[in-house]
Amino acid sequence: MNEAVKFSGRMLSYSTLTVTSSEVSQIRLALDERQRVAAINMPVVLDATLKLHLGKLLAIVRDVGLNPIGVHEGHLAEQAPQYKLAVLSKSSSISSGAKAQSVAPIEAAARPADKTTETTQTQAPLGVVVHSGVMRSGQSVTNPDGDLVILNDINAGSEAIAGASLHVYGRGLGRLIAGIDGNPDASIYCMHLDPALVSIAGVFCLPEDIPADVLKQPARIHLEKDGALVFTQIHTGLQLKVNQ
């Protein structure tokens, strides 16, 4: 078999830059203000709430050291091909809730519970969100701005998504996702690990690849510098590395 190329299991993790003004000077000013929080060459996907000249926008964004890799569906999509940028659908993006570096007003941690989408949040200090009920199939709880603590079971078919670390005090049977902004220091802690998927900073692992010794055990999962997920049995300290 020819192994000249290989697709590896890494979810794309990126920030979205949403532009809400067509004033070049305003965009520039807002970007300069927020540049402190953005890493140099940080990959961003562009989005706009109004029609803009993509070429001019790209120039400004690149000038402040960001690295645009694509645009979201919407106002900018039509012009994307001529600048060889990808068009990303918003719904399929796992980090669509993460807009930490957005030019639009940054949404606070205390987003009101949106009952209609079956997504609930409870506020706690320091950007930590605590969810106390059983998470049912189809439910999704997200805290894009910090740690997420789930005090009960995450049933199969549901998902818990944290900007930073995810702590699960019940059984974790659904999708456990941490570090959605690409934060490699995020960890997942789970009292009974039996998930449909774990993902940290976009690096994911499916049940078939999770070491059997940590399944149904209390476990910690973190990301090594080389991009490997490490599963630790909490009681014994046994570490098992999964290379992608």
Partner 1 sequence: MAKIVVVTSGKGGVGKTTTSASFATGLAKRGFKTVVIDFDVGLRNLDLIMGCENRVVYDFVDVITGQARLSQALIKDRAIDNLFILPASQTKDKDALSDEGVASVIEQLSAEFDYIVCDSPAGIERGAIVAMYHADEALIVTNPEISSVRDSDRIIGVLQSRSKRAENGDSVREHLVITRFNPQRAENKEMLSIDMISKDILKVPLIGVIPECQSVLEASNRGIPVINYEQSEAGQAYDDVVARFLNEERPYRFIDVKKKGWFGRIFGDQ
Residues near 234 by beta carbon (within 8 Å), at least 6 away in sequence: 189, 217, 218, 219, 220
Q: Does residue number 115 form part of the binding site for partner 1 (CB under 8 A)?
A: yes
Place of tokens 């690149």: 62
Residue closer to partner 1, measured from CB, 94 or 196:
196
Handedness of CA 97, 99, 104, 105 (dihedral sign): positive
Identity of the amino acid at 233: Q
Give me the least distance between CB of 118 and partner 1, in Å please.
4
Nearer to partner 1, 67 or 155 (CB): 155
155 lies in the binding site for partner 1 (CB under 8 A)? yes
Minimum distance of partner 1 from residue 130's CB (angstroms): 17
Total number of residues that touch partner 1 (CB under 8 A): 16
The C-alpha atoms of residue 129 and residue 150 are separated, in whole angstroms, by 8
**Pair 73, 14: CB distance under 8 Å:** no
**Contact pick of 26, 133, 151, 209 for partner 1 (by CB under 8 A):** 133
The site map against partner 1 for 62-101 (x = CB under 8 A) is ----------------------------------------
Nearer to partner 1, 32 or 118 (CB): 118
Taking alpha carbons only, the member of 179, 241, 204 closest to residue 187 is 179
